[in-house]
Amino acid sequence: MDKNQHLLEKRESSKLGGGEARIKRQHEQGKLTARERVLLLLDEGSFQEIGAFVEHRSTYFGLDKMKFPGDGVVTGYGTIHGRLIYVFSQDFTVLGGSLSKTHADKICRIMDLAVQNGAPVIGLNDSGGARIQEGVVSLAGYADIFFRNTRASGVIPQLSVIMGPCAGGAVYSPALTDFIFMVEDTSYMFVTGPNVVKTVTHEEVTSEDLGGAKAHAEKSGVNHFTASNDVEVIKQVRDILTYMPQNAQELAPHTTQFSFTEAKNKAIQSILPDNVNLPYDIRKVVESLIDDDSFREVHEDFAKNIVVGFARLEGRTIGVVANQPAALAGVLDIDSSRKGARFVRFCDSFNIPLLVIEDVPGFLPGTDQEWRGIISHGAKLLYAFAEATVPRITVITRKAYGGAFDVMNSKSIGADLNFAWPTAEIAVMGAKGAAEIIFKREIAAADDHEAKLKEKEAEYAEMFANPYRAAERGIIDEVILPEETRQKLIVGFKMLENKVDTLPKKKHGNIPL
Ligand code: HXC
């Protein structure tokens, strides 16, 4: 046979993965194949494959007769919106996408290239975990990947898309990356599946309940973004990348294609209810400040009392962290602190300025929170803000009470500009609680305790339920009208564009984990 023809045929057969029947099964389950996913993810015609003919070298349990070119993972590079991207896509049609040492080596090669060339890695995961027939060699392959995930953390963005059942080692590499995307109904993540769970703990649970997209979006917080199918999740990944730089030495791309509906500026004044104890949706405030349709919420269904996500201000990426009065009155608890901290650290790693919108009544009290470690978890958010060197601006819309005031990007922990609306209340605690403590004796001695409490509450509120004590001490830089806020943010971030702030020389800090 003609040698060129031979090559072309080899190429074609490598594209078949585990064969037509398994591809058909993959499609019947509503899933695309590994190769189809890559082609959809990358700009048309840009994919360059590496290692299409690589095969494993194992012989145990008949593996020597089960060889597939590429060994169950499609790897290579290409572009998304014209920017270089490295990608690996596990092929469930080949031995369940299981990871052999060879399969791992292919992924490692892509990761090494990505770090050396400063471009993101996207992993399309669809794998039954370590290739059981290979034994410890495949475990070592996983460890090779985990090592690289960790070393690449904060150097290049790493995104993991879960597109099938991912079990065992297949979940730990994604867990080490920056963001996890999951597909409803077809993707699962668990350290051990329902059968093992039943044997060990006698719990009966479905794959969906144990480790489906919803369970990880709402309960564990492992999943950052949920999509309804393979096509949608790939669109999400392409979109979210536009908010990120290629690596930690660069800035996120700046687009001139943005719009802002001026009417939002007028409406912003009426978002806060007159009664300070009533909730409102902080997303409305966020949406009113940023470029139209630019908000991409991260972790939308987890710890809803804090809202985090990417947005744009005049075409430039910012990271938004906002307390959400519409959920648990916006208190900080364990989950919201973890969620906020992780997002702040991503933004700081990749030079994304931070905007904090604050309306926080404090930390959530109680034995549940204390015994599960709100002290350490709350400290994560404090630590994350305090160590962030990117430009940071805070806007206090309403409550800024107690330790939570300090934590939410206060000036003393390094925020560059702190604004407050006239409705801001910056105090150690709410007026009632404060009056009950500091006027305890006076209230007890009064003939009418209730009336005295009310009087003292009003006295405390008069003193602190406003932004002016803080402004007098320079703790707040400026008290601003809600409709002035967008412009203040635009010029503020512009002023901070060339900010240089460095951490003291150290190996690394010791964030309370
Ligand atoms: C080798 C595997 C495999 C694996 C699946 N297959 N997982 N082969 N090693 N880990 C093969 C199956 O034998 C089958 O081959 C084909 O892939 C498709 O699998 P099915 O079971 O038919 O598919 P499905 O019903 O969709 O179930 C998918 C699954 C299930 C949920 C992933 O296969 C499963 O539970 N696999 C094992 C998961 C697991 O326990 N992994 C942990 C490995 S230990 P045929 O030829 O029949 O089509 C590990 C530790 C690492 O990963 C720790 C690092 C920290």
CA dihedral 109, 147, 86, 53 (to 10 degrees): 30
Fold of 263-429+466-496: 2-enoyl-CoA Hydratase; Chain A, domain 1 (3.90.226)
Q: Are 333 and 303 in contact (CB under 8 A)?
A: yes
- For every residue of 278-333, DSSP letters joined together read S---HHHHHHHHSSTT--EEESTTSSTTEEEEEEEETTEEEEEEEE-TTTGGG-B-
User: How far apart are alpha carbons 112 and 144 in whole angstroms?
Assistant: 11
Closest CA relative to residue 174, chosen from 142, 203, 200, 198: 142
Q: Are 147 and 113 in contact (CB under 8 A)?
A: no
Closest CA relative to residue 311, chosen from 349, 370, 353: 353
Check whether 206 has a pLDDT greater than 90: yes
User: How far apart are alpha carbons 311 and 17 in whole angstroms?
Assistant: 39
Q: Does any ligand 1 atom lie closer than 6 A to the CB of residue 168?
A: yes
Q: Pairing relation of β-strands 306-313 and 296-298?
A: antiparallel
- Ligand 1 centroid to 87 CA: how many Å? 22
Q: Could you tell me the pLDDT band of residue 408, with boundaries at 50, 70 and 90? A: very high
Check whether 135 has a pLDDT greater than 90: no
pLDDT at 432: 85
What's the pLDDT tens digit per position in 27-62?
999 999 999 999 999 999 999 999 999 998 888 888
CA dihedral 234, 238, 244, 248 (to 10 degrees): 70
Q: Pairing relation of β-strands 83-90 and 354-360?
A: unpaired
Q: Does any ligand 1 atom lie closer than 6 A to the CB of residue 31?
A: no
3-243 and 263-429+466-496 share one CATH topology? yes
| 403 is known as an active-site residue | yes
- Ligand 1 centroid to 129 CA: how many Å? 6
Q: Are 158 and 121 in contact (CB under 8 A)?
A: yes
pLDDT at 188: 95
Check whether 288 has a pLDDT greater than 90: yes
What's the pLDDT tens digit per position in 345-402?
999 999 999 999 999 999 999 999 999 999 999 999 999 999 999 999 999 999 999 9
Q: Are 251 and 351 in contact (CB under 8 A)?
A: yes
**Mean predicted confidence (pLDDT) in 462-490:** 94
User: How far apart are alpha carbons 138 and 128 in whole angstroms?
Assistant: 12
pLDDT at 400: 95
Q: Which of 118, 403, 414, 433 is catalytic?
A: 403
Q: Could you tell me the pLDDT band of residue 292, with boundaries at 50, 70 and 90? A: very high
pLDDT at 462: 85
Distance of CA 299 to the CA centre of its chain: 6
Check whether 429 has a pLDDT greater than 90: no
Residue ranges of the domains in the chain? 3-243, 263-429+466-496, 431-464
Atom of ligand 1 nearest to the CA of 127: 32
Q: Does any ligand 1 atom lie closer than 6 A to the CB of residue 129?
A: yes
User: How far apart are alpha carbons 166 and 175 in whole angstroms?
Assistant: 12
Give the max Cα distance, the chain.
107
How many Cα atoms are found within 13 Å in the side-chain-facing hemisphere of 2? 4
- Ligand 1 centroid to 192 CA: how many Å? 11
Specify the DSSP element, H or E, that contains 225. Answer: strand 225-227
**Mean predicted confidence (pLDDT) in 95-114:** 96
pLDDT at 65: 84
Range from 107-116, 249-258, 458-467 carrying the lowest mean pLDDT:
458-467
Q: Does any ligand 1 atom lie closer than 6 A to the CB of residue 171?
A: no
**Around Cβ 460, how many Cβ atoms within 10 Å?**
22
Q: Are 42 and 79 in contact (CB under 8 A)?
A: yes
- Domain 3-243: which CATH class? alpha beta
The 10 Å CB-count burial string (b at 16+, else e) for 395-430 is bbbbbbbbebbebbbbbebebbbbbbbebbbbbebb
pLDDT at 68: 85
Instruction: Give the residue ranges of DSSP H helices in 46-135.
Output: 101-117
- Output 192 or 91, whichever has higher pLDDT: 91
pLDDT at 93: 95
What's the pLDDT tens digit per position in 212-253?
999 999 999 999 999 999 999 999 999 999 999 999 999 999
Which DSSP symbol is given to 32?
-
- Output 386 or 68, whichever has higher pLDDT: 386
pLDDT at 264: 92
Q: In the chain, pLDDT over 90 holds for what percent of residues? A: 86
pLDDT at 477: 97
Q: Are 209 and 118 in contact (CB under 8 A)?
A: no
Check whether 1 has a pLDDT greater than 80: no
pLDDT at 123: 98
**Around Cβ 201, how many Cβ atoms within 10 Å?**
10
Range from 193-202, 208-217, 307-316 carrying the lowest mean pLDDT:
193-202
Q: Does any ligand 1 atom lie closer than 6 A to the CB of residue 258?
A: no
Q: In the chain, pLDDT over 70 holds for what percent of residues? A: 100
pLDDT at 216: 98
How far CA 427 is from CA of 390, 412, 413, 416, in Å, comes to 27, 15, 17, 21
User: How far apart are alpha carbons 13 and 9 in whole angstroms?
Assistant: 6
Atom of ligand 1 nearest to the CA of 188: 31
pLDDT at 58: 84
**Mean predicted confidence (pLDDT) in 264-288:** 94
- For every residue of 347-362, DSSP letters joined together read HHHTT--EEEEEEE--
Looking at every residue in the chain, the average pLDDT score rounds to 95
| 96 is known as an active-site residue | no
pLDDT at 428: 86
Check whether 487 has a pLDDT greater than 80: yes
Beta strands in 314-461 (DSSP E): 316-323, 354-360, 392-401, 417-420, 425-427
